[in-house]
Chain A
Amino acid sequence: MNWRNELLAVWAVAVRNALMASRNVFFFFELLFWPIVGVVSIGLMTRFLELTPEQASFVLIGTIALSVVNVCQLEVAYAVLMDVWSKSLKHQFLAPIGIRHLTLGSWLVGIARGLAIFVLLAAFGWWAFGFAVLAPGLPAVAVFVFGCFLTAWIVGVAVCALITLFGNRAEAFAWASVNLVLVLAGLYYPVSVLPESLGAVAAAIPLTYFLDAYRAHFGFASEFRAPIATGLALGALYTALAHWAFFAAIRRARRTGLLLKMSE
């Protein structure tokens, strides 16, 4: 493996995604509008319900996590989706690059956008509602946002795999299934309120553990024994699985001709 070429291919994908993001008319909405609308409505709701500041932080952390994950996963999925929409998918698979370059490069851009959103929403929440989202300090914040990015990476790569497996038709299905999974991660409630079977699903989602660990800093008893380690372990496992699925999907698309069909 030639490290310079590895980095270069990752960089190529990152530059491309960043260029496209900068010209995307929906960029503004993805990056600013919806996340802020989310925080405003949740913030107002917590006032109406007269939640304690701790409870309000609990809910707000969930909202911010959702926004960060959403923006980042979308960017990762763009690694394939933009090319599917432009019908140019075959060119990048004609070039000597692997899927790791695609997923890493687009993840880097996703992380940059996710960080921007996180900082923005944290600042906005503090300014508008006095939420101290960053109170737990830098290391805790870093672990938390990393958990969000890791989840987003897995989800984005899984969407890429589904699209290269089933074609453009799978797009809506891919997003729906992904959001279903996220809702189960206990964004707005402790996982313990879920019925047992859904609780088991929630316990299989890495984001659940990162939320749990972060919320512990706001005085909520942790529901898991070693949330961060568990979240990281699960995250690593799913990252590997998602990449394997994507790899297998591309190999299959080369066999069935879907790779060509999506490019014409």
Chain B
Amino acid sequence: MLAIDARDVTKTFRSGWLRRRETHALRGVSLAVPRGAIWGLLGPNGAGKTTLLSILATLLTPDGGSVTVLGHDVLREAAALRHRLNMASGRPSFLWSLRVDEIIAFYGRLYGLHGAALRRRVDELVELCELVPFRRVQYSELSTGLKQRVALAKSLVNDPELLFLDEPTLGLDPDVSVRVRQHIARLRREQGITIVLTTHYMREAEELCDEIAFIKAGRIPARGTPGELKRQIRLGEVIALKLDPAAVEWLAEAPGVLRCAEAGGWVECTVDEAEKRLPELLRALHADGVVVKNVQVREPDLEEVFVELAK
């Protein structure tokens, strides 16, 4: 069962009164997100991540294509859909003068909570998002990290089946980011919420997501599990060698070697297939009288995949 089924979604923003400017934010994007997944949308700034998320969350209407979310058409059944989803942004903004618990309660009422149930929900969320000492503090006086926790609390107020997180760890200290990520993973594990998050941090996507789509200039050129993506992009694998003598000229031209680079006393050869090329390289090096002092084989980082794709 799909939580999101979007096909060929397009969106163009038009701006400017005198000089009309068109921004093709989405140029035909399709995606299928199964229920219960954590799904990552990864891409550089301006790629169209927020635009896509906003369309899925009914904040923006698509120009073309079809979008079904939780079985509802986003254009015709937006009202019913809004009860079942929610969204939080890493750049949150709420009414300045309201206090933390007032903000959560306000949105809770909009989703139909009241009385004791509302109070209980506010208490739960304040607890869950570690906001207990701040519940009577005005929003404008909170730090960025606390504001983001308020945004997360607000986004859970209606017990959403589907949660959109737009760059949830943007600008957070590393230790806070780690906690937010643990939190996100727990939401899915314990409550079965389907989560779609955008990020431009590879590690985050790799750590959290079952599946990742790369989005760039309004298109999704690649998608899959983190492992699949690396293979799909065919970045190859890296064989790092410590040699004596330190540099060997012919290595870059050896069969199966895509490129070679030197880094910190290591020669890093990117090869198409490590398992096949490693024995060949070792034999050739031995024959050449080069001493191999150390060898490491590793998969390329998703970071490298990303750099490659973003070119």
Contacts and interface: CB of A to CB of B under 8 A. Distances in A.
The answer to whether A and B interact is yes
Interface of A: 5, 8-9, 11-12, 15-16, 19-20, 23-24, 82-83, 86-88, 90-97, 101, 254-257, 259-260, 263-264
27 contacts: A5-B112, A8-B114, A9-B110, A11-B109, A15-B106, A16-B95, A16-B98, A16-B106, A83-B95, A86-B95, A86-B96, A87-B93, A88-B93, A88-B94, A96-B80, A96-B83, A96-B111, A254-B59, A255-B60, A255-B61, A256-B14, A257-B51, A257-B60, A259-B59, A259-B60, A263-B93, A264-B93
Interface in B5-48: 13-14
A217 to B, nearest CB: 41
A12 B109 contact: yes
A13 B229 CA distance: 47
A184 to B, nearest CB: 29
A249 to B, nearest CB: 14
Chain A: interface secondary structure?
Answer: helix
Interface centre among B80, B106, B110 (most CB of A within 10 A): B110
B87 interface: yes
Nearest to A11: B109
A97 B110 contact: yes
A46 to B, nearest CB: 39
A254 B61 contact: yes
Contacts of B54: 260
A96 B57 CA distance: 11
A201 to B, nearest CB: 28
Contacts of B98: 16, 19-20
A91 B94 contact: yes
Q: Which 8 A-B pairs have the closest CB atoms?
A: A12-B109, A96-B82, A95-B110, A87-B93, A23-B97, A88-B93, A86-B95, A88-B94
Contact of A20 (B58, B61, B97): B97
A162 B79 CA distance: 24
A23 B141 CA distance: 14
A254 B60 contact: yes
A94 B109 contact: no
Contacts of A11: 109
A8 B60 contact: no
A260 B109 CA distance: 23
Contacts of A260: 50, 54, 59-60
A95 B138 CA distance: 22
Contact of A15 (B60, B97, B109, B112): B109
Interface size, B (range): 20 to 34
Nearest to A255: B61
A88 B87 contact: no
Given A256-B14, A260-B54, A260-B60, A9 B94 contact: no
Contacts of B93: 86-88, 263-264
Interface in B71-95: 79-80, 82-83, 86-87, 91, 93-95
B109 A92 contact: no
Contacts of A263: 93
A94 to B, nearest CB: 6
Nearest to A85: B96
Contacts of B57: 94
A70 to B, nearest CB: 21
B301 interface: no
Interface string B129-162: 0000000001000000000000000100010000
A83 B61 CA distance: 21
Given A254-B60, A264-B91, A8 B86 contact: no
B95 A88 contact: yes
B13 A96 contact: no
A259 B61 CA distance: 11
A94 B86 contact: yes
A88 B51 CA distance: 17
Given A94-B58, A257-B51, 19 more contacts: A9-B110, A15-B106, A15-B109, A16-B95, A16-B98, A20-B95, A20-B98, A86-B93, A88-B95, A90-B59, A92-B110, A95-B107, A101-B110, A254-B59, A254-B60, A256-B13, A257-B60, A260-B50, A260-B59
Nearest to B54: A260
Nearest to B79: A96
Given A96-B110, A259-B59, A19 B102 contact: yes
Interface centre among A24, A86, A256 (most CB of B within 10 A): A86
Interface centre among B58, B79, B82, B109 (most CB of A within 10 A): B109
Contacts of A93: 59
Contacts of A24: 97
Contacts of A82: 95
A24 B106 CA distance: 18
A254 B106 CA distance: 22
